[in-house]
Amino acid sequence: MIKMNKHIEIVRCTTKRLSSMSQLSGEAIFTILAKHYTSVRISVVNNLSDLEAIVARNPDLVFLGMESIPPNPTLGLRDPNKVSVTEYLDEHGIAYTGSGQAAHELERNKPLAKQHILDAGLKTASFCIIKQNQLPVSHDISLTFPLFIKPTNRGGGAGIDSDSLAYNFEQLISKVHSIATNLKSDSLIEEYLPGREFSVAVLKDQHSTEFSVMPIELIAPLDKKRARILSGKVKSANAEQAIEITDTVIKSKVTTFALDVFYALDARDYGRIDIRLDKHGVPHFLEANLIPSLISDYGSFPKACVLNTGLGYEAMIMRITQLGLARNVDNTEEALELGLTINTVFASFETAS
């Protein structure tokens, strides 16, 4: 196989809370890309100097596995002076995979994303925020129980468990205290949506402005409250069922809604939109993940690609990479060459399957 003459750096962080890409995921992506490109490396970015070193090497593409770097590592996510990786790369003319800074700022701040979705005329559950140092009283909460409580700035199910579903004020306060104490985070309080839950992979076509929108239904095991919650424990164990949606009406509603949310967040190339139905079967936005887990047979994004279109792991990684590289193409001849090479790669996947 003739490799494409491109230099790609896969960027992640060793601080778990700051990295959207695990070591396992980074190594799996490296294995794929090293088959097709002449220069591929995994770069750990734990501080600004590490990011400056990447810019100095001037790669053709950064495969993004993190969003920001805190100048003060002891503050981590709470550092108000975090350096945006995408903004820094944009300033230095380095292409990267996925969405830009504005979309990532919405993604990592769940209340901000929900308000943005509401402002766009789309639906999300009614909500409020309880700050870490806030001591609310019952009449401060105007929402209707049961309520769902989660940290405002965590992903991967962190801080979510069976106690996240509260049926009264005492249970609410207990969970808020747990989040403030253990995660040093504010709490997002939402009216609980009792309907089915869906995760939707959105992936741009490499030859047009169209998107593949690929929904799956997620069914978590019953917990001690007889509820199905995609907790951190369930996600870590890969214990949820991921099934194809066969009801064409529901599939159409969820697909249309997910793409509307993707556009509203100003997302780019690929991402995951999580949706839950209310008691009337109306889709509501839960949250977005614009650097979703990309481990084969793990996480909603790869599963959705396979179940909906048969797009396998290697082809998925190559599609995401090609979309990023296409933004770094300066002339028609090189763009044509890249397109032809990618077509050859995808044709080989189809022949092998």
Q: What is the pLDDT of residues 59-72, one digit of tens each?
A: 999 999 999 887 66
Q: How far is CA 257 from CA 179, 209, 251, in A?
A: 30, 18, 10
| Distance in angstroms (rounded) separating the CA atoms of residues 300 and 306 | 10
The residue ranges of the chain whose pLDDT is under 70 are: 71-80, 329-353
pLDDT at residue 72 in the model: 62
Q: Which residues contact 131 (CB under 8 A, 6 or more apart)?
A: 186
Q: Are 233 and 166 in contact (CB under 8 A)?
A: no
| Whole-structure pTM value | 0.90
Q: Which of 238, 223, 220, 216 is nearest to 164 (CA)?
A: 223
CA torsion sign, 186 to 237 to 62 to 275?
Answer: negative
pLDDT at residue 331 in the model: 41
Tokens linked to 344: 């050859």
pLDDT tens readout for residues 225-245: 888 988 888 888 888 999 999
The residue type at 311? L
Phi and psi torsions of 137, nearest 5°: -115, 165
| Distance in angstroms (rounded) separating the CA atoms of residues 173 and 94 | 46
CATH for 127-191?
Answer: 3.30.1490
| Distance in angstroms (rounded) separating the CA atoms of residues 226 and 219 | 13
pLDDT at residue 88 in the model: 96
| Distance in angstroms (rounded) separating the CA atoms of residues 9 and 51 | 11
Q: Are 291 and 157 in contact (CB under 8 A)?
A: no
CA torsion sign, 306 to 309 to 312 to 317?
Answer: negative
Q: CATH top-level class for 105-123+194-309?
A: alpha beta
Torsion of the alpha carbons at 231, 136, 183 and 112, rounded to the nearest 10: 80
Q: What is the CA radius of gyration of the chain?
A: 21
Domain extent listing, the chain:
4-96+313-352, 105-123+194-309, 127-191
DSSP bridge partners of 166: 147
